[in-house]
Chain A
Amino acid sequence: MADIADTGMASAPARAETLKTADGTPLKAALAHAAKRARRRAFLLVAPLLAFVVLTFVAPIGQMLYRSVANDGFSANMPNLVRWFAENPETEPDESAYAALAADLALAAEARTIGVVGTRINYDVSGTRSLFTSAGRRAARLEAPYREALLDLDEEWGSPALWSAMRAASAAHTPNFYIAALDRQVDPEEGIVSVPEDQRIYVPLFWRTMMISAVIAGICLLLGFPVAHLLATLPMRLSNLLMILVLLPFWTSLLVRTTSWMVLLQSEGVVNDVLVSFGIVADDARIQMMYNQAGTIIAMTHILLPFMILPLYSVMRTIPPSYVRAARSLGANNWTAFWRVYVPQTVPGIGAGVLLVFILAVGYYITPALVGGSSGQLFSNMIAFHMTRSLNWSMAAALAALLLGAILLLYWLYDRLIGIDNMKFG
């Protein structure tokens, strides 16, 4: 006994300076070595997914976001003028500026990038794309004095608005798309000002999107809460059956679901026909439920309802019935037990459901495009417009970035108020 105790004492470190393993390597180094191998293996396991996400998600989104501030359409193709703008800040264009412009027009025409240049300026000063392309065709034959020569081609070349647009476009990066996305413009004298009321598009549309999404999330909560409660309290066999009914829409194409709402809701549709046949609505006063906000709200509520029910259900399933029973035995009536004991415990589910539905609704595109008409269009429809029609991808990127920013802000707010770790998706 005594021997063992003695050797034990001897091999123990005199002080806890550097603990060592049995073979003498410092404990910390050994631990790091052991942990490193496990970490490397873990990294290798997630590497394929990481590569996939970076390639297909992070890179394109990053590129898209970069496009919202990138401004190389003009600056990359007009090197002489860009240099002149850099050397002469705040100067009226003189002969040397027109000379640089003429040289660049000739260059761009030769490189066949004159259309890109024209398009870029056209974002800011409409109707100028043809000005560039037609000048490009004759740029090679222009002679000094260039100012007169260009003004002979078109009076517009002397316009201060055009020149300020070109000066703005000569920077490699610009906040202009964001300024435009916020319904503002750069005024030469007053700086950033709001555009006239009748030209404001994006900000009202943004608020309308938020409003409609909030209304949809609210209706989903009202409709989904009782269903989730029913699912959570019924016997497992029955609730599984009902769960299929909740999930059924998930397994149907989004387009099919949207178009079936069109069949139901249009003015010659099933709902109106039934109402008319019962005499509730006059034949010539059929209710307009389609191609307006109502259509968007109805169809999207139906489509997003499962996203509310599932998190609510998964939270309610975990609430033991003994809580409400305890509340009842303590003297609370049905309503008080429900409101003060049951509902507070479903808050993680309510938070998750509302946030999920709201975020999905804010970015929804197909359904409002099909059933929304003009008053039921959402923000993403405007993004799509800039992507596919006006081809102003920078504008689309700026709008998308604003939407993303708004959602991140909301998420942060939610975290501050309720706490993200309180959220349960299922």
Chain B
Amino acid sequence: MTDPTADKAFVAFERVQKSYDGETLVVKDLNLAIGKGEFLTMLGPSGSGKTTCLMMLAGFETATHGEIRLGGRPINNIPPHKRGIGMVFQNYALFPHMTVAENLAFPLEVRKMGKAEIEAKVKRALDMVQMGAFGGRRPAQLSGGQQQRIALARALVFDAELVLMDEPLGALDKQLREHMQFEIKHLHENLGITVVYVTHDQGEALTMSDRVAVFNDGVIQQLAPPDELYERPQNAFVAQFIGENNKLHGVVEELNGGRAVVRLDSGEVIDAAAVNVGGKGRRTLVSVRPERVEQREDMSAPGLDAEVLEFIYMGDVFRTRLRVAGSDEFVIKSRNGQGQRRLQPGEKIRIGWATEDARALDA
């Protein structure tokens, strides 16, 4: 599952480019290999090219250049209905003039299956998403979450090995969305299908995926498992896009193996892990996660001076905004644990972090 090489990958994009107007590339030189049974999420802001990639895979858009392979077979010239890929659409796209059962039977009917076989498969698919009693209803009579389940069942009913999902949970409220995330995840695990999932919600991507491809500007910025993506972002875009992030601008003063000494614009000098820096004398952006910042009791300990600007009580955590190194946007998060002190605005404190948690990235 981890790092399948391109030739034995189940789905492979090879040097794929896509342009709509002949002037700009929406997808620039995409190389991506997805293993069988993998749950891969394409994450990125709107206009980053992730949906275009999904549509090329589904067959609704043609690649301007490059090759897309499914199970080792090039599919560039195969029309969508012959690709046998299940797809869940953003607005579910359940056919409103058919009942739920007819919706599910549709892919089986066009495959000319026998009546008894269709009935059995439809029943099995409905039971799989716990919607067995709803076969006679119309989609409009179902709630958003129920429609979502039916859309899922319809994409799975014809035993597709690859299922594409285009922001399938976008229309649901937060609680239901989190619930459905787990259901989709469990279906994926139980059925052993390959899922390519598109979302702009980073929480969703981190929760569900085996690997996440972060898209921006038509390029995959980083392709990694969720924990690596969060803890070891490769560049400034990924660091900012995934999770909350404190930014400290400065210049590399010294490079020493994996370590960089950075002089911040405000004059302070800090140590950081050199992840993606040009070299000595180049500008860099040091990224620190809010929950990795610690308050130092000793005001002379290594770290930076900070002034408390705002304290926000969020229930499970405290979120404190600080003025650090000339920036008013530095945030720390602390767990609402036993004996955790609530900082007061105006307080002067000392903060610090483990050197590997401060990551020097491209500016």
Q: Do A and B come from one complex?
A: yes
> What does DSSP make chain A's interface, helix, strand, loop or mixed?
helix
Q: Which residues of B contact A329 (CB under 8 A)?
A: 58-59, 80-81, 83, 85-87, 155, 164
A331 and B110 form a contact (CB under 8 A): yes
A341 beta carbon closer than 8 Å to chain B: yes
Q: Which of B90-98, B186-194, B202-210 contacts A (4 or more CB under 8 A)?
A: B90-98
Q: Is the CB of A325 within 8 A of B81?
A: no
A340 proximal to B (CB < 8 A): yes
Looking at B58, B87, B155, the one whose CB has the most chain A CB atoms below 10 A away is B87
B89–A330 CB distance below 8 A = no
Partner of A332, one of B59, B84, B91, B106: B106
The tally of residues in B whose CB lies under 8 Å from a CB in A reads: 27
A347 vs B96: C-alpha distance in the bound complex, in angstroms? 12
Name the contact of B80 in the complex, choosing from A328, A344, A347 (C-beta under 8 A): A328
- Chain A residues with Cβ below 8 Å from B155 are 329-330
Q: Are A322 and B93 in contact (CB under 8 A)?
A: yes
Distance (whole angstroms) from the CB of A82 to the closest CB of chain B: 62
B8-39 CB contacts (< 8 Å) to partner A: none
User: Does A336 sit at the interface, judged by CB under 8 A?
Assistant: yes
> What's the nearest-Cβ distance from chain A to residue B160, in Å?
9
Decide yes or no whether A327 CB sits under 8 A from chain B.
Answer: yes
Complex contacts, A340 vs chain B, CB 8 Å: 106
CB–CB A328/B93 < 8 A:
no
* Contact (Cβ within 8 A) A331 B95: no
* CA A340 to CA B109, docked complex, whole Å: 11
Closest B residue, CB atoms, query A333: B81
Contacts of B107 in A (CB 8 A): 330-332
Asked if A320 is at the interface of the complex by the 8 Å CB criterion, the answer is yes
Query: Does residue A323 face the partner (Cβ distance < 8 Å to B)?
Result: yes
Q: Is the CB of B95 within 8 A of A325?
A: no
Contact B89 A322 (CB under 8 A): yes
Q: Are B106 and A323 in contact (CB under 8 A)?
A: no
Interface residues on chain A, size class: 10 to 19
Bound-state CA distance A328–B154 (Å) is: 13
Residue from B79, B97, B111 in contact with A344 in the complex, judged by beta carbons closer than 8 Å: B97
User: Which one of A323, A328, A336, A347 lies within 8 Å of B95 (CB-CB)?
Assistant: A323
Query: B90 — nearest CB in chain A belongs to which residue?
Result: A322
| Cβ contacts B153-164/A at 8 Å (1 or 0 each) | 011001000001
Interface assignment of A174: CB less than 8 Å from any CB of chain B: no
A2 to chain B, nearest CB (A): 30
Interface positions, chain A 302-337, Cβ under 8 Å from B, are: 320, 322-323, 325-333, 336-337
Contact B96 A330 (CB under 8 A): no
Would A336 and B86 count as touching, CB distance under 8 A? no
Given contacts A331-B110, A331-B158, A323 and B81 within 8 Å (CB-CB) = no
Are B81's CB and A331's CB within 8 A? Answer: yes
Beta-carbon contact of B91 and A330 below 8 Å: no
Q: B34-59 vs A: 1/0 string, CB under 8 Å?
A: 00000000000000000000000011
Considering the chains assembled together, what is the distance between the CA atoms of A336 and B81 in angstroms?
11
CA distance in complex: A111, B185 (Å): 97
Within the complex, the shortest CB–CB distance from B161 to chain A, in Å, comes to 14
Q: What is the CA–CA distance of A322 and B110 in the complex, to the nearest angstrom?
A: 18
Does residue A345 face the partner (Cβ distance < 8 Å to B)? Answer: yes
Check if A327 sits within 8 Å of B89, measured CB to CB.
Answer: no
Q: Give Cα distance in the complex from A325 to B54, angstroms.
A: 13
Task: Let me know if B60 is at the binding interface, CB within 8 A.
Answer: yes
Distance from B5 Cβ to chain A, minimum over Cβ atoms (Å)? 28
> Which residues of the other chain, B, contact A341 by a CB distance below 8 angstroms?
95
Are B97's CB and A330's CB within 8 A?
no
**Which residue among B95, B107, B111 has the maximum number of chain A CB atoms within 10 Å of its CB?**
B95
- Which of the residues B85, B91, B106 comes within 8 Å of A327, measured between beta carbons? B106
A322 and B91 in contact, given A329-B85, A331-B158, A345-B97 (Cβ under 8 angstroms): yes
Q: What CA separation (Å) do A333 and B112 show in the bound complex?
A: 13
**CA A341 – CA B93 in complex, angstroms?**
11
Across the interface, which residues of A come within 8 angstroms of B85, CB to CB? 329
- Rounded to whole angstroms, the CA-CA distance of A140 and B110 in the bound complex is 91
Q: A330–B90 contact, CB under 8 A?
A: no
B200 to chain A, nearest CB (A): 18
Contact of B93 among A326, A331, A332, A344 (CB under 8 A): A326
Residues of B within 8 Å of A336, CB to CB, are 110
Interface residues in A332-366 by Cβ distance below 8 A to B read 332-333, 336-337, 340-341, 344-345, 347
Nearest residue (CB) in A for B80 is: A328
* B95 close to A327 (CB less than 8 A): yes
Contacts of B86 in A (CB 8 A): 329-330
- Contact A326:B89 (CB < 8 A) given known A331-B81, A331-B158, A341-B95: yes
Q: In the complex the two chains form, what is the Cα distance from A345 to B97 in whole Å?
A: 7
A320 CA / B107 CA spacing, docked (Å): 19
Out of B84, B91, B164, name the residue touching A331 (CB < 8 Å): B84
Q: How far is B89's CA from A323's CA once the two chains are assembled, in angstroms?
A: 9
The answer to whether B96 and A325 touch across the interface, beta carbons within 8 angstroms, is no
CB distance from A245 to the nearest CB of B (A): 26
Contact string against B for A residues 5-29, beta-carbon threshold 8 Å, 1 for contact and 0 otherwise: 0000000000000000000000000
Complex Cα gap A331–B87 (Å): 11
The answer for the CA separation of A322 and B83 in the assembled complex, in Å, is: 17
Q: Is the CB of B58 within 8 A of A330?
A: no
B174 to chain A, nearest CB (A): 24
- Contact flags (1/0) for B56-73 with A, using CB distance below 8 Å? 001110000000000000
A-B contact pairs, 24 of them (CB 8 A): A320-B91, A322-B90, A322-B93, A325-B60, A325-B89, A325-B93, A326-B93, A327-B95, A327-B106, A328-B59, A328-B79, A329-B58, A329-B59, A330-B81, A330-B106, A331-B81, A332-B81, A332-B110, A336-B110, A340-B106, A344-B97, A345-B96, A345-B97, A347-B97
> 11 extra interchain contacts, Cβ-Cβ under 8 A, other than A328-B81, A332-B81, A340-B106?
A322-B89, A322-B90, A325-B89, A327-B106, A328-B60, A329-B164, A330-B110, A333-B79, A333-B110, A345-B97, A347-B97
The 4 closest A-B pairs by CB, nearest first: A330-B107, A326-B93, A329-B87, A322-B93
